Amino acid sequence: MTIHELSKKIGYSASTISKVMNGYKGVSTATREAVLAAVKQYDFVPNINAQSLMSKRSYMIGTLILDGPNDILSPHLSEILNAFKTECAMHGYDITFLGNRMGKTEVTYREHCIARNLDGLLLAVGMENLPSERTEQFEELLRLDMPKVSVEGLHKDICTVISDNLSGSEYAIDYLYGLGHRKIGIVTVSGKNEASEQRLCGYRRCLKKHGIPEHPELIFPAAMYSYEAGKEIAEAVARHPEMTAVFCIYDEISIGLIAGLQERGIEVPRDLSLVSFDDITAAQYSGLTTVRQNREKIGTIAARKLIAQIEDGTDTPKNNTFVDTKLVIRSSCRRIALSDD
């Protein structure tokens, strides 16, 4: 049934029905109730394609996410995407994932956006996560004249919503310092990664604030963001018994690190205190003291900013948001006497 067919059945104009369906003002309560009752009676569903033709919008938002450690199964990213999708749905938008195929045809990310007539784009991948063969495609996508928001990595002239990694790292080191620790190491991730670099920067800044000299040998680059990488890096960490605490910048690595240390007879927190970053669900079961990212807030703000760009251009691309973090104290750290250090 079309809106015009419904109009003939109930005696209200198509424009009045449209106003009621879209929640516009200027319609009496009695009329609104009558139209809604008819919509329910006739099981009327608006034709999205027709709406798109009239508004020149598809009400579809593309999401770029890649296979790998930071894909849709990532505890961190999946929570952001869920909040993003929920907020988009509240404004009448749906999401689709960008890929390099449409049916049997191979396409670029840019071609996918244009073919689907997408209204906006969520970037959930950083340049450092891209395989070399997709870098050119990604750069082409960044140049596409389309509203965009990023939740993973900073990109020039694109609105970004991410956690305040610098201050979050300082919360971790401040906490360890308050417990008496002075020989504090850090497990980071090898290669170029903005979040990793920001957390390392926060670590260094906080050491300097407390007058603690930095020891390069206490910086341990894990191979990647994974439990297995955490177990592997445990061997290097175990070689430094003078270190009383370590800050690990990802929970998944931290959980692997705990297991790897246990295999070497080193217990957390008896022998080594550990503070992590992210607060994924598994962290609470591991007793991890960790810096919590507000993933729901990141996803919600990203959706609102993107929709604001789509609908009225009120949010400029350079208007970045750094979302506050919170230290969640559990059982992976212990207080030590300064003489023990």
- Name the more confident of 46 and 42: 42
- Name the more confident of 319 and 87: 87
CB 159 within 8 A of CB 316: yes
Give the pTM. 0.80
How far is 243 from 175, CA to CA, in rounded Å?
A: 16
Enter the tokens of residue 54: 């009239």
Evaluate the omega torsion of the peptide bond into residue 213 and state whether it is cis, within 30 degrees of 0.
Answer: no
Least confident range from 78-82, 155-159, 170-174, 324-328: namely 155-159
Enter the tokens of residue 97: 């994932």
Dump pLDDT digits (tens) for 236-262: 999 999 999 999 999 999 999 999 999
Dump pLDDT digits (tens) for 58-101: 889 999 887 554 566 677 888 999 999 999 998 889 999 888 88
Helices 29-41 and 3-10, packing angle to 10 deg:
110
Q: Which residue has the tokens 């209204």?
A: 119
Q: Which residue has the tokens 């198509």?
A: 14
Nearest alpha-carbon partner for 157 in 306, 321, 317: 317
Element (H, E) at 110: helix 109-115
The percent of residues in the chain predicted with pLDDT above 90, rounded, is 54
